[in-house]
Amino acid sequence: MPNAAEGPRAADRSATERALEEAALVLLEREGVLSGLNLQKVADMAGVNRGLVYHYFGSRRDLLREALRRTASAWSTSSDSFFHLPLRQRTQAFFRAMVRHDRAAKLVLLLAIDGDLAFRMVGDRQTSAAARARDVAAGEMDATVDRDALDTILVSAVFAYAVRRKSFARELGVGVRDLDRRVEGVLIRLVDGLRSPSGAPPR
C-alpha cells in the first residue's frame, strides 16, 4: 500500500519541475537562445538547488526540451477548438490566438529547430480533413485547393508573423496593434480568395 507521504512528495516534485521549466523559459526569452541557459540562474529563479535540475531532467537540454514541449502541447490542445469553425473564422481565430500567445509560437519553433518530430505543427490530420470537407461543402473553399499545402502555408505564415511581429512593426514604423489588424485583414482576404467560383457549395 502506498505511503501517505508519497502524495505530497510527488506533488512537490511536480511543482519543482514546473518551476524549473518556467524559469528556463523566462531566461530563454530574456537572454536569447544563443546566450545559452545558465542552470544556476534557472535554479535560483525557481528557488531550488541546482542539483535538482540534473536529478529531475538529466541535462540542460532535456530541461529545455520538456519546458518547450509542455508549453507547446498546451497550446496544441487549445488550438483543436478552432477546427469546428468555418474556414474564415477558423483562420481569424488561429491568427488572433497566436498573436495573443506569441510565446507559444516561439517555443514551438524552437522545438522544430531542435529537431523534435513528435510535435505536430498542423494538428490532427483527420480533424483537419473533416474541417476542410465542411469548407468545400459550404463553398468556402474550392474543391481543387491543395488542403495540405494550404495548412502548411497558413501555419507557416502565422507562426512567423507571431514570432517577429514587433520587429516588423519597428522596421515599418507602425504600431504593433495596427500592424496586427492590417495583416489579419490581408490574411482573411487571401482565404476568401479560396472560395469556389460560384461562391456556393459545389454540385
pLDDT digits (tens, 9 = 90+) for 53-66: 888 888 877 887 78
pLDDT, residue 10, reads: 65
Instruction: Give 75 or 203, the one with higher predicted confidence.
Output: 75
Could you tell me the domains of the chain?
1-58 (1.10.10.60), 73-203 (1.10.357)
pLDDT, residue 7, reads: 47
Instruction: Give 21 or 72, the one with higher predicted confidence.
Output: 21
pLDDT tens, residue by residue, 102-141? 877 777 777 777 776 666 666 677 888 888 899 999 999 9
Separation in Å, CA 188 to CA 65, 69, 90, 152, 168: 34, 30, 10, 16, 19
Query: 105 with 159: CB under 8 angstroms?
Result: yes
pLDDT tens, residue by residue, 151-194? 889 989 998 999 899 999 999 999 999 999 999 999 999 999 99
What one-character DSSP code corresponds to residue 81? G
pLDDT, residue 77, reads: 58
What 3-state DSSP class applies to 163?
Answer: helix
pLDDT tens, residue by residue, 2-18? 444 444 466 688 888 88
pLDDT, residue 201, reads: 45
pLDDT, residue 151, reads: 87
Residues 6+ apart with CB under 8 A from 167: none
